[in-house]
Structure formats: C-alpha cells, structure tokens
Amino acid sequence: MIFDVKTEDIIKSVIGSFKQLGDQRKSSERTGVIEILSDDGNRYFVKIHNRLSHWNPEIYAYKHWVKPLEQYAPTLISSFNENDVFGMIVTPIQGKTVNEMQIADSDVLARVYYDAGKLFKKMQANQRGAYFGIPKVDGSPYDENAKTDPVIYLIDSIESWVKSAYDYKIIDAFYEPLIKWSFENCIIFKDDYPVPTNWDLSQNNWMVDDCGTFTGFIDFENMLWGLPLDSFAVIQERYTFDKPHLEASFCEGYGLERDEITKQKQKVLSVNSSLASAVYGHTENNPYFFDCGIRKLRVLVSTHTE
C-alpha cells in the first residue's frame, strides 16, 4: 500500500513527521497496514480500510471491547474518517504472529491457545450488547434491521448461508438432515445475549515473542456483538480441525465446560460458520476458506445422528 498525500497529511497532523518502516499487507486489496517511525522515535502502525463495515467495528472495539485486554492489545492513538480516507493509528505490541513464528513445538502452541482462550473470556466478561451484529463507531447497529433475539438472529444467519450455498450449488440433499437439525436446535440459544466476538479470532492474529510466549491480540475488524461461542467455530474449522489438543487448550483457558448443551451449541454454530466459509470462499475465490468450510461440513454430516 502506498500512502497518498491526503493520508500522509492526516498522519502528520497526529504524530508529526514520520518515515515508513515496512508494508505489512502488500498484497491486500481491502486494508493497508504500514509500520512507521515518528521523528521523536516512537513506532506505530497505520491501518487504512476501504470498507466502513470493517472500520466501524474495529474503532468501536478499540474504544470499548479491548479495554479489558490491557497490555495484551495495541492502544488506539487516533482514528480518522475524512476526505474519503478511514483508518487508525495504533501502538505496536511485542512479537510476531503465531503463523509468522511458525511454532513447531505442540506444547508451546498449546500454551498459546490456553492463554488466548483465557484472554478472550476476559474480553467477553461484563460486556453485554443490546443487539446482534456490527456496531458503528457510536455504538448504534450498522445494520438497520439488527436482531435482538438470539434464536431469530441465528436462524436468519443460517437461512441466509443455506440459500447462498444452494444457489451456488455448494451443497445438496446430502446436507439436508444436518441443516434441518440445526434449525430445530437454534432454540437452545434462547438465553444467550450479545457479547463481543470475533469472526477472525485466529492464530494469524495472536502475537508471541521469540520464546513463544503469548503477548496479545491484534486485528479487530471482524468483531461484532455475537453469540458467546461464535468464535469457537471459526477456530475449530480453520486451525484445530486435526489438532484437538489445541482446541482443548483454548477451551480450558476460556473455562468452557463441555456438557451436552455446549456441544450442541458448538455443532449448530459450526454449521453456520462452515456454510459461511464455503460461500465466502466460493464468491471471493478463496480456496482455503472454501475447503475449510466444506471439510468441516462433511465431518458434521458423517458424524450426525438425530
């Protein structure tokens, strides 16, 4: 990403003169992340969005949701939405992402997952929303038709992904019993309420130091007021599919008791998430997301009993 004059002027108005140290997302068409160094010797990251639907929740997250994380998240220095430029300036946190570090030691990785689960629970605790969905910066719903009932919210989401999956011929009658079961069991979420959750809670956004010690979360653009266990489905589908010990570590850190109701909830949410990934992967030509979604759906069908 190359900054234009408008963007440079905005940054200079906040931190003064600076120089670029590196481009973190050279290949991204959706966001740009540039590491910069101010003349007074402070290092920052500047993130520029091209979608207000992702800029709004990320700014709201920095101002509200990530506060319980304390030093385990960047600090928002400034946010801006002017002259058709919307972005933010944040402080760095120590380390690199788990994926960048390429941690091979399963015990070290399990500790990271434990710490991530524990911190994610801390972020959700004592934060309760009034609706399900993406917030604007001021806290009002981004979607004018935001749902307030958890059952209706989930049914609507599954219906939407099922329709798209059938339209794109991604699924067929093979999946019908599982989908029917999912709709019937949405009722078990009737007592859930909106909490901060993240559709991209993943080791690609978890930071560790050179010793593999967990140092925090980054990247909150895919956050929303969602169901408490929403993010578990994303982790299962993309990162712990064939690594159950990592899933167990995350659940242990979170303090999740795997009773039958919880297992049912996770199964319903996995159907929703996997359908979403398959559809997204198909429409955005992203084979990884598509394959992860279909892989998880096939396992759910093969192990499904009424």
- The single-letter DSSP state of residue 62 is I
Distance of alpha carbon 204 from the chain centroid = 10
Q: Answer whether 268's CB lies under 8 Å from 186's CB.
A: yes
For residue 23, which of 41, 45, 8 has the smallest C-alpha distance?
45
Contacts of 183 (CB under 8 A, 6+ apart): 155, 158, 159
How confident is the model at residue 306, as a pLDDT? 66
Q: Do residues 106 and 123 share a domain?
A: yes
> What strands lie across the sheet with 85-90, from one edge to the other?
18-23, 31-38, 43-49, 85-90, 76-82
> For residues 235 and 222, what is the distance between their CA atoms, to the nearest angstrom?
14
Pair of tokens at residue 30: 């959706």
Q: Do residues 56 and 170 share a domain?
A: no
How confident is the model at residue 28, as a pLDDT? 57
Instruction: Enter the pTM of the model.
Output: 0.93
Q: Do residues 24 and 121 share a domain?
A: no
Range of the domain at 68: 5-90
Q: Do residues 174 and 291 share a domain?
A: yes
Q: What is the CATH number of the domain that holds 295?
A: 3.90.1200.10
∠ CA 126-236-100, rounded to 5°? 90
How confident is the model at residue 145, as a pLDDT? 92
How confident is the model at residue 141, as a pLDDT? 98
| Single-letter code of the amino acid located at 223 | M
Q: Do residues 186 and 279 share a domain?
A: yes
Q: Answer whether 289's CB lies under 8 Å from 277's CB.
A: yes
How confident is the model at residue 82, as a pLDDT? 84
Q: Which conformational region is residue 36 in: left (phi greater than 0), alpha (psi within -120 to 50 degrees), or beta?
A: beta
> For residues 105 and 180, what is the distance between their CA atoms, to the nearest angstrom?
41
Q: Which of 90, 123, 138 is the C-terminal boundary of a domain?
A: 90
The count of structural domains within the chain is: 2
Q: Answer whether 271's CB lies under 8 Å from 158's CB.
A: yes
Q: Which of 90, 115, 132 is the C-terminal boundary of a domain?
A: 90
How confident is the model at residue 26, as a pLDDT? 61
- The single-letter DSSP state of residue 257 is -
**Which residue is associated with the tokens 């380390």?**
95
**Residue-level pLDDT, tens digit, the chain, 306 residues:** 556 788 889 999 999 999 999 887 665 566 789 999 999 999 999 999 989 999 999 999 999 999 999 999 999 999 999 878 899 999 999 999 999 999 989 999 999 999 999 999 999 998 999 999 999 999 999 999 999 999 999 999 999 999 999 999 999 999 999 999 999 999 999 999 999 999 999 999 999 999 999 999 999 999 999 999 999 999 999 999 999 999 999 999 999 998 999 999 999 999 999 999 999 999 999 999 999 999 999 999 999 876
Q: Do residues 276 and 193 share a domain?
A: yes
| Single-letter code of the amino acid located at 135 | P
Q: Do residues 133 and 50 share a domain?
A: no
How confident is the model at residue 180, as a pLDDT? 97
Pair of tokens at residue 107: 């015990």
Q: Do residues 46 and 172 share a domain?
A: no
Helices (H), 89-172: 98-101, 106-124, 150-167
Q: Do residues 114 and 63 share a domain?
A: no
Q: Do residues 42 and 110 share a domain?
A: no
Q: Do residues 233 and 160 share a domain?
A: yes
Q: Which of 65, 90, 115 is the C-terminal boundary of a domain?
A: 90
Q: What is the CATH number of the domain that holds 76?
A: 3.30.200.20
